[in-house]
Amino acid sequence: MNALAATSRNFKNAARILGLDAKIERSLLIPFREIKVECTIPKDDGSLVSYVGFRVQHDNARGPMKGGIRYHPEVDPDEVNALAQLMTWKTAVADIPYGGAKGGIGCTPGDLSLSELERLTRVFAQKIHDLIGTHTDVPAPDMGTNAQTMAWMLDEYSKFHGHSPAVVTGKPIDLGGSLGREAATGRGVVFGTEALLAEYGKSCKGLTFVIQGFGNVGSWAARLIHERGGKVIAVSDITGAVKNPNGLDIDELVKHKESTGSLLNFNGGDNMDPNEVLIHECDVLIPSALGGVLNRENASSVRAKFIVEAANHPTDPEADEILLKKGVIILPDIYANAGGVTVSYFEWVQNIQGFMWDEEKVNNELQRYMTQAFHNIKSMCKTYDCNLRMGAFTLGVNRVARATNLRGYEA
């Protein structure tokens, strides 16, 4: 099942549980606007190359649309659509005043030089600048993009609209980025994990963790879990996988990755088959890379007690059913990885106020939002006798439906 079908299925289940009428259900499902643009750039050798860029703006009933921009070869309209919809429910679950959007360019960023990436980002910004804005749609980094990408977008947008720091988030600090933003998604994953574990009388300390993906989200989650005394016993990324049953020294692993460009051949662990990572025995499995990695082929072999969905849509619905039957507790993506967009919201607030918070305030506020959202999800689970995914979906969908109804339908 593709990402869009899976997300729509979760939405429809939530709509049924909430008893939404058909009119509002349909209106919430259809995206507000879908944008597809051609981005042609000269390569460094002078040849021309064309890419397709997407921006799907899903819903703005609760505020400006918000969502990342992903550079990845598998970016396609269906996936961007699903991720935009997920952002609508995610911002509502986190209770921040935004709607949902997502964008991306189908490219392999690793194959492009820095100046090619800059040209590509600027051309993309030129094509969509009229359709984004501080109070319209606020992009942020996602897979394959980073603070530098946002700096180029901000600069290009400002050529058309004047200085507008709040038009993108996840910017470098020197251009109005927020302290704590870089680590925010991983930190939010850890706050969410702690809230979940506390329900079972547990904490990170002494538990075993396996993490797929060692980019922004996965590496920060790993560092913070390690800091709290959790044992990260296996980690993988696109370069391979490494394990140590006594726990990997994550700070050393980060240094090893930085110096060699790979996780492999780390002194403090053994190389392992990356396909084994998701089915490695552990207390908590944290998929932090791609969507759809837990599916009907591998779900029955998963040996984790808890899954924390740091990536977007890592579990397809068939795997979801298999894992629930096995008694695995899943903390869903629309909550678990909401830390990034929550601190993006703090960044936007700081830009609009022209006032910078210190990092402690950012982290404390993030913990407050993540903990409150977890309790709100649990309360929906109790009201509707449902699992955490449906608790999160009913919470988010209900908030968006209420805002939509309050706005009314008169043309």
Catalytic residues: 102
What's the CA gap between 166 and 351, in Å, rounded?
Answer: 6
Q: Does 18 bind ligand NAD (CB under 6 A)?
A: no
Q: Which of 7, 85, 208, 216 binds ligand NAD (CB under 6 A)?
A: 216
Q: Which of 75, 101, 138, 143 binds ligand NAD (CB under 6 A)?
A: 143
Q: Which is nearer to ligand NAD, 310 or 328 (CB)?
A: 310
Q: Which of 178, 193, 244, 288 binds ligand NAD (CB under 6 A)?
A: 288
What's the CA gap between 98 and 111, in Å, rounded?
Answer: 34
Q: Which residues of 151-181 are buried (b: 16+ CB within 10 A; e: fewer)?
A: bbbbebbeeeeeebbbbbbbbeeeebbbbbb
Q: Which of 103, 176, 180, 213 binds ligand NAD (CB under 6 A)?
A: 213
Structure tokens that stand for 202 in this block? 């547990």
Instruction: Answer for the pair 295, 319: CB distance below 8 angstroms, yes or no.
Output: yes
Instruction: Answer for the pair 270, 297: CB distance below 8 angstroms, yes or no.
Output: no
Q: Which is nearer to ligand NAD, 196 or 211 (CB)?
A: 211
Q: Which is nearer to ligand NAD, 24 or 211 (CB)?
A: 211
Q: Does 214 bind ligand NAD (CB under 6 A)?
A: yes
What's the CA gap between 312 and 345, in Å, rounded?
Answer: 19
Q: Does 144 bind ligand NAD (CB under 6 A)?
A: yes
Q: Does 234 bind ligand NAD (CB under 6 A)?
A: no
Q: Which is nearer to ligand NAD, 236 or 315 (CB)?
A: 236
Q: Does 309 bind ligand NAD (CB under 6 A)?
A: no
Q: Which is nearer to ligand NAD, 191 or 214 (CB)?
A: 214
Q: Does 185 bind ligand NAD (CB under 6 A)?
A: yes
Q: Which is nearer to ligand NAD, 224 or 311 (CB)?
A: 311
End-to-end CA distance of the chain: give it in Å, rounded.
36
SS3 label, residue 303? coil
Stretch that binds ligand NAD, among 50-58, 112-120, 138-146, 316-324 (CB under 6 A): 138-146
CB of 330 to ligand NAD, least distance (A): 15
- Dihedral of CA 160/164/165/170: which sign? negative
Cα torsion through 367, 148, 76, 291, rounded to 10: -40
Cα torsion through 305, 311, 316, 322, rounded to 10: 0
Which residues lie closer than 8 Å to 226 by C-beta, 6 or more apart? 232, 247, 248, 249, 250, 251
Q: Which residues of 316-327 are buried (b: 16+ CB within 10 A; e: fewer)?
A: bbebbebbeeee
Instruction: Answer for the pair 133, 65: CB distance below 8 angstroms, yes or no.
Output: no
Listed in sequence order, the DSSP H helices in 261-386 are: 317-325, 333-336, 339-353, 359-384
Give the per-residue contact string, 324-343, with ligand NAD (x = CB under 6 A; - = no): -------------x--x---
Q: Which of 59, 118, 137, 142 binds ligand NAD (CB under 6 A)?
A: 142
Query: Which residues, 336 to 395, sit near ligand NAD by CB under 6 A?
Result: 337, 340
Instruction: Answer for the pair 61, 335: CB distance below 8 angstroms, yes or no.
Output: no
Q: Does 264 bind ligand NAD (CB under 6 A)?
A: no
Closest residue to ligand NAD, based on beta-carbon distance: 215
Backbone angles phi, psi at 138, to 5 degrees: -120, 100
What is the distance of C-alpha 307 from the center of its chain? Answer: 15
Stretch that binds ligand NAD, among 7-15, 192-200, 212-220, 383-391 (CB under 6 A): 212-220
Q: Which is nearer to ligand NAD, 133 or 240 (CB)?
A: 240
Q: Does 290 bind ligand NAD (CB under 6 A)?
A: yes
Stretch that binds ligand NAD, among 21-29, 36-44, 120-128, 306-314 (CB under 6 A): 306-314
Stretch that binds ligand NAD, among 127-135, 224-232, 247-255, 310-318 (CB under 6 A): 310-318
Q: Which is nearer to ligand NAD, 53 or 141 (CB)?
A: 141
What's the CA gap between 334 and 101, in Å, rounded?
Answer: 13
Q: Does 177 bind ligand NAD (CB under 6 A)?
A: no
Q: Does 81 bind ligand NAD (CB under 6 A)?
A: no
Nearest to residue 156, comparing CAs of 104, 121, 106?
A: 121
* Contact residues for ligand NAD, defined by CB under 6 A: 141-144, 185, 212-218, 236-238, 274, 288-290, 310-312, 337, 340
